[in-house]
Copies of this chain bind each other. A is one copy, B any other.
Amino acid sequence: MILEFSTYPIGSGESLSEAVADVVDIVEQSGLPHQTHAMGTVVEGEWDELMDLVKQCHFALRKKHARVATRIAIDDRAGAKNRLTGKLDSIEKRLGRKIRR
């Protein structure tokens, strides 16, 4: 399944880049296929490994900050694999051209 998430402190200053850098560092260490975009990170895997990863990221921030907001979106489709790029490949196939990804 594919999981997209973002996690950041509320009330600890406007800049979130330090927090997001911490999160990306943890995601990279997980070894799971992932991609970071301007509003969050998309990761592919099974429920437990994905949720363990989000939990680790959430609490890495909560150790440093008194309030943390975490958002998660899951798309779980039977038999779907390599969806991180596969979903976009399907779009390009339909459109008959490359898209900005």
Interface residues of A (CB under 8 A from B): 2, 4, 6, 8, 10-18, 20-21, 24-25, 28, 34-40, 42, 47, 51, 55, 58-59, 62, 66-78, 83-85, 87-88, 90-91, 94-95, 99-101
Contacts and interface: CB of A to CB of B under 8 A. Distances in A.
B36 A4 contact: no
A38 B100 contact: no
B70 A76 contact: yes
30 contacts: A2-B38, A4-B40, A8-B10, A11-B11, A11-B13, A14-B66, A20-B87, A20-B91, A21-B94, A35-B38, A36-B100, A36-B101, A37-B101, A38-B85, A38-B88, A39-B42, A39-B75, A58-B74, A58-B76, A66-B78, A67-B78, A68-B76, A69-B76, A70-B72, A70-B74, A70-B76, A71-B72, A71-B73, A72-B73, A72-B74
